[in-house]
Amino acid sequence: MSEEKKGVVLTAEEKRRQRARSVAIAWALAALCVLFFVVTIAKLGPGVMNRPL
């Protein structure tokens, strides 16, 4: 039963690959944020930043 509680145990190599995949996903999400920001500026123009608070 204690074996079952441990679940899937990753080897060191599997952990390294999992981390590499996570980092890649993080970079992709960051790139998507930058892309949406730049596209917003391109579509609306820089004037969108110039407004009273």
Partner 1 sequence: MTLATDGMTNDSAATGAFAGVSGGEVRDYVALLKPRVMSLVVFTALVGMVVAPGTVHPVIAFASLLAIAVGAGASGCLNMWWDADIDAVMTRTRARPIPAGRVPAGEALTFGLVLSALSVFVLGVVANWFAAGFLAFTIFFYAVVYSMWLKRWTAQNIVIGGAAGAFPPMIGEAVVTGTVGWPTFALFAIIFLWTPPHFWALALLKSGDYARAGVPMLPNVAGPDATRRQILLYTLILAPAALAPVALGTGGLAYLLVAVITGAAMVILAFNVHRHREGEAAARAAQQLFAFSILYLFLLFATLLAEHAFGLYAAVPGIGR
User: Which residues here bind partner 1, judged by CB under 8 A?
Assistant: 8, 10, 13-14, 17-18, 20-21, 24, 32, 35, 38-39, 41-43
Q: Which is nearer to partner 1, 20 or 30 (CB)?
A: 20
Are 18 and 10 in contact by the 8 Å Cβ rule? The answer is: yes
Min dist CB 3 to partner 1, Å, is 15
Assigned token pair, 27: 């970079």
Chain centroid to CA 39: how far? 18
Residue among 8 and 49 whose Cβ is closer to partner 1: 8
